[in-house]
Structure 1
Amino acid sequence: MALPLRLPGLFALHLHGEHRLVIERVAGRVVIHQCRFHF
């Protein structure tokens, strides 16, 4: 599933090359998604 990384308040941090930690601010709280992408 593609993530809308263009939305405001949503940004991604690259971890260990393949892992990405996505931090999203929703309604004043922070939601963290740990996803793995293959390129």
Structure 2
Amino acid sequence: MLRDHDVVEPSDHDYGKLYFLTDRFERHTDTFEEITAEVDAE
């Protein structure tokens, strides 16, 4: 689901594949933090 929504992208290795945050997610980190702060407050 995270790959489908362009939040993470996999490395090129099949064994022990790592996932990294995409540039798109990095640009919207502030929005993500605002949303998680509101969810935590509830």
Confirm or deny a common fold (TM above 0.5): no
Task: From the CA coordinates, give the structure whose radius of gyration is larger.
Answer: 2
Select the structure that is richer in helix.
2
* Structure with higher strand content: 1
TM-score by length of 1: 0.28
TM-score normalised according to structure 2 size: 0.28
